[in-house]
Amino acid sequence: MKGVLFDFSGTLFRIESTRSWLRAVLAKAELTLPEPELTRTAQALESAGALAGGASPSLPLPPDLAGVWAVRDESAELHRAAYTGVSRQVPLPDPRLYDALYDRHMVPDAWHPYPDAAEVLGALRERGVSVGVVSNIGWDLRPVFREHGLDPYVGSYVLSYEHGIQKPDPRLFATACDALGVAPEDTLMVGDDRRADGGAAALGCGVHFVDHLPVADRPDGLRPVLDLVG
């Protein structure tokens, strides 16, 4: 393999917990909730799928949001509309909190790299393997990589909202391979979503899946990539 493409959320980074996310937004707004209510609200937001990068909705989507949700990663506007829309299903003490919650998930300190991410990306660079990030997302994740020191290892970023295409569409993977200057058959796609990231196989890329687990529970899930690259 001459190139490796990585997904972002659940692959190289993990978003903070829904409880931490809600608590941070309340603190910034100088609001408090009793602990039992904070716990219930965080659980309701998680069930709604309101935290981008977190759990998928476990409740049926409202009819007026279902169409937006399906294409949410194709633009920044759709992404914000989808996530603020589902969060508004949960009562909050101030209506301004819905946008504040969305804004919080884009802050670099809301994200934590997996323990072996820097090691694996650094090893690939030492071997002369090109590294790219290809993500279904509605905002610019580059500051997250810069803040956590991983940006120097990444040769290109291909983000769905910048192209109006979302995985598993092979065109997004083709764009990512072109950005690296590596043929699809010489490229490995690493991700946690078997449907979205698995779309790279249609282009001829190799595909390797990792488990979307909390950071503490997946200390070395990326290291097998080094063996696959050879």
Q: What is the pLDDT of residue 87?
A: 97
The Cα-based distances of 144 to 65, 206, 209, 228 in angstroms read: 28, 26, 22, 27
* Segments making up each domain of the chain, as ranges: 3-14+111-229, 15-109
Q: What is the pLDDT of residue 59?
A: 87
Q: What is the pLDDT of residue 230?
A: 80
Q: Is the dihedral of CA 154, 122, 201, 167 positive or negative?
A: negative
The model carries a pTM of 0.96
Which residues of the chain are modeled with pLDDT < 50? none
The DSSP bridge partners found for residue 15 are 111
Class of domain 3-14+111-229: alpha beta
